[in-house]
Amino acid sequence: MAEFPRAGVGPSCDDEVDMKSRAAYNVTLLNFMDPQKMPYLKEEPYFGMGKMAVSWHHDENLVDRSAVAVYSYSCEGSEDESEDECSFEGRDPDTWHVGFKISWDIETPGLTIPLHQGDCYFMLDDLNATHQHCVLAGSQPRFSSTHRVAECSTGTLDYILQRCQFALQNVLNDSDNGDVSLKSFEPAVLKQGEEIHNEVEFEWLRQFWFQGNRYKLCTDWWCEPMTQLEGLWKKMENVTNAVLREVKREGLPVEQRSEILSAILVPLTVRQNLRKEWHARCQSRIVRTLPAQQKPDCRPYWEKDDPSMPLPFDLTDVVSELRGQLLEARS
């Protein structure tokens, strides 16, 4: 798995700096799993490896070719039991394993590696990019600590707060009832604002609340930032409402109306489709079997004609009307 210099060529200073930066860990993910309390674990689907605690995946949002280090501690049985004493072939189902396979390849056999108390494994260089990995459950509880070099230009709280402020700098002023007026109706400005609106709703708010109340069992730290993000998101709903008022305004030149409609129709259609998907996901049959603390919360969600919201949750009619207006403006 390691990367070696070419024969006869020693590593340069730049290589050493690059290698150090690939292991400059800035994110730690702590996990605990007790398979005895998780009867819904799925079977590994391709190679018959047994129950999966974590399905096949790549680790994402990492610095290119950076190392991933995983420390594993499983509460195994007696140390006197060894793999040599197993009377069966294949993976010991009582022992936790990490599995590897070539990405998107189910023909080439996968590989499993046993994880005992205190074991640590590394995914070096491009292994995480070229291969997928999974975690195969043992019989006893397990703690793990995964260390990563996260790519921090996106995906952080500071990043999304800056994106929100960027979108809302187009607000000229807002009233006590939530109505806002905008500085610019330039199509590019409106389009970017609606895309940020979608990013906040689907990459942050809904991702967070889909976890139910499990976060609160460990920490309530994220409650305040998410409340802040939800407040900014709601102001973006008011921005969208202001744009929709503008396209209906009498006296607006037809060409300008067409440009605005063309700019906002795609992000609003995406919003409607994703809301429908997330709502269905939160109502699915599998979700109904989860313990109360793990049931996802479809949030933000509001009923039709909620006086606190400027627009409906279901944007089907809004999107349909916009399409009709665009066709009319182009005709």
Res 277 pLDDT > 90: yes
Res 6 pLDDT > 80: no
Measured distance between the N- and C-terminal CA atoms of the chain, rounded to whole angstroms: 61
Query: Rounded distance, CA 260 to CA 244, Å?
Result: 9
pLDDT digit string, tens, across residues 135-193: 999 999 999 999 999 998 888 999 999 999 999 999 998 888 888 999 999 999 999 99
> Quick one: pLDDT at residue 187?
97
For 302, residues 6+ apart whose C-beta sits below 8 A from its C-beta are: 308, 309, 313
> Quick one: pLDDT at residue 18?
80
Q: Can you tell me the mean pLDDT for 121-129?
A: 96
- Residue 3 within a domain: no
For 19, residues 6+ apart whose C-beta sits below 8 A from its C-beta are: 11
Res 71 pLDDT > 60: yes
- Residue 67 within a domain: yes
**77 — pLDDT class (breaks 50, 70, 90):** low
**19 — pLDDT class (breaks 50, 70, 90):** confident
Domain shared by 198 and 270, yes or no: yes
pLDDT digit string, tens, across residues 284-293: 988 888 888 8
- Residue 2 within a domain: no
Domain shared by 176 and 100, yes or no: no
Domain shared by 204 and 97, yes or no: no
Domain shared by 286 and 256, yes or no: yes
Q: Which tokens is 93 given? A: 């189902």
- Residue 6 within a domain: no
Between these two residues, 303 and 329, which has the higher pLDDT value? 303
As for how many domains the chain has, the answer is 2
Residue 286's alpha-carbon distances to 194, 289, 294, in angstroms, are: 32, 5, 11
Does residue 39 have a cis bond before it (omega within 30 degrees)?
no
Query: Rounded distance, CA 313 to CA 199, Å?
Result: 16
Q: Are 137 and 53 in contact (CB under 8 A)?
A: yes
Q: Are 92 and 86 in contact (CB under 8 A)?
A: yes
Domain that holds residue 69: 13-76+84-148
Query: Rounded distance, CA 171 to CA 240, Å?
Result: 11
Domain shared by 96 and 143, yes or no: yes
Domain shared by 292 and 143, yes or no: no
pTM of structure: 0.75
Res 1 pLDDT > 80: no
Between these two residues, 85 and 189, which has the higher pLDDT value? 189
Q: Can you tell me the mean pLDDT for 227-250?
A: 97
Domain shared by 126 and 205, yes or no: no
The pLDDT > 90 percentage for the chain reads: 73
pLDDT digit string, tens, across residues 197-206: 999 999 999 9
